[in-house]
Amino acid sequence: MKMVMGNRFTLDGSAELERHLDSVCTQVREGVRALVPASQLDGLLLGGGYGRGEGGVLRTTAGDQPYNDLEFYVFVRGNAVLAERRYRAALQELGHRLSPAAGLEVEFKVLTLDKLRHAAPSMFYYDLVTGHRWLMGDDTLLAGCEHHRAAGDIPLHEATRLLMNRCSGLLFSAERLRRDDFGADEADFVGRNLAKIQLALGDVLLTALGQYDWSCRDRHQRLLQGSNFDNPPWRDDVVRHHAAGVAFKLHPCRCTADRVELAQRHTELSALARQLWLWLENRRLGTVFPSPRDYARSAVDKCPETSALRNRLVNARNFGPVAALAPSGGRYPRQRLFHALCLLLWDEPAPSDATRLEGVQRELHTRATDFAGWVAAYEQLWHRFN
């Protein structure tokens, strides 16, 4: 298994940008040491694109600037839940304090090595274990985490989750494209989310076929080769958009396109995402959903990997005892997002369509009757169960 080697945060960022990011890491290391006693601190690493040496480089007249978030992982000893409660607030405050000078968001996540070693395979843990940069510690700390290095073991529901999150960006973009006051900030938001779905389309296809890789460049090479794929008719479109997604990830830019152009691109990518969604979910759940509406109406459990008993507890805590005792109370709430996404992004109900309107309201636990209200309710639920 190849590992991230070398000392760069980016592929081709300027020396000034590299020094800036190194300085931020030094400040993070010192800040973490001041907050977490040495007796409780096992290690500290940088994940994400900059940890993998593929961080975004924003070219500006003032020189190269960082673009993506900096994602730091603090490994502490003891119980993972207690450690999170003990250090989360202080680390969040450290991130808020460092972010303005860093020029991007500085984020922290508290983990324990024991939790990492015993966790089931996921895309998150695969990316973290196979692509990172240590600020304190080294790869000897990851002994016992070998199961996270096998991309073929990433479960299919992880591909669905990734696609749901990126299609949620399409949904949020659709709401902004309808606003009367569509300006530069809205255009940049939409452009950024279109680039994210472009990258995700190929990443989802690779994940579903057991061919995912931590490097976005290597993922694209696998898509180009793709001799072992089942070659769905939309594959070439996925590969083409993935190339654009990789280019944006490595060299992002501020979007200046107008509403009309962005709306056209949004329509094209939404249609392609629809085809991939149905292909993936038919494959994952072993059934046939002819359309997004059929998917949303189907009684098939969309999160069969979860525990029905635990799901009832989660539903009771988030939606009340009536929801927990309902026939769907044993389903994980993320299923609500899957259904609502299909109805809002690909099969938006008209106000006169009472059946679908009630379906959206029921899934989102809202009384809203217009698109903006539905998207607001969706986003609130998405933040809790994405």
pLDDT tens for residues 183-217?
Answer: 999 999 999 999 999 999 999 999 999 999 999 99
CA–CA dist 73, 112 (Å, integer): 10
Q: What does the pLDDT look like over 7-24, one tens digit per residue?
A: 899 999 999 999 999 999
CA–CA dist 149, 113 (Å, integer): 15
Tell me the HSE value of 223 on the side-chain side, using a 13 A CA sphere.
31
Q: Please spell the DSSP secondary structure of 145-180, one letter per residue.
A: -GGGG-GGGS-HHHHHHHHHHHHHHHHHHHHHHT-T
Q: What does the pLDDT look like over 323-370, one tens digit per residue?
A: 889 888 999 999 999 999 999 999 876 656 767 788 899 999 999 989
User: Can you name the CATH fold of 15-149?
Assistant: Beta Polymerase; domain 2 (3.30.460)
pTM summary value: 0.93
Q: What does the pLDDT look like over 249-297, one tens digit per residue?
A: 999 999 999 999 999 999 999 999 999 999 999 999 999 999 999 999 9
What Å distances lie between residue 370 and 171, 182, 207, 374, CA to CA?
Answer: 14, 19, 35, 6
Helix axes 334-345, 259-285, angle to 10 degrees: 130
φ and ψ at residue 305, rounded to 5 degrees = -75, -5
**Secondary structure (3-state) at 152:** helix
**Cβ count near 85 (within 10 Å):** 11
**Secondary structure (3-state) at 136:** strand
pLDDT at 269: 98
pLDDT at 5: 43
φ and ψ at residue 220, rounded to 5 degrees = -65, -40
Tokens of 309: 């008993």
Q: What is the mean pLDDT of the chain?
A: 94
Bridge partners for 66 per DSSP: 57
Q: In what order do the strands lie in the sheet with 106-111?
A: 106-111, 70-76, 41-46, 133-136
Per-domain boundaries in the chain: 15-149, 154-287, 306-386
Among 48-52, 225-229, 311-315, 348-352, the least confident range = 348-352
CA–CA dist 11, 67 (Å, integer): 14
**Average pLDDT, stretch 78-106?**
95
CA–CA dist 156, 138 (Å, integer): 30
Per-residue b/e over 25-50, b at no fewer than 16 CB within 10 Å?
bebbeebbeebbeeeebbbbbbbbbb
Tokens of 386: 């994405």
pLDDT above 70 for 2: no
Tokens of 245: 């997604």
Nearest-10 Cα torsion for 72, 76, 80, 84? -60
Tell me the HSE value of 362 on the side-chain side, using a 13 A CA sphere.
16
pLDDT at 157: 97
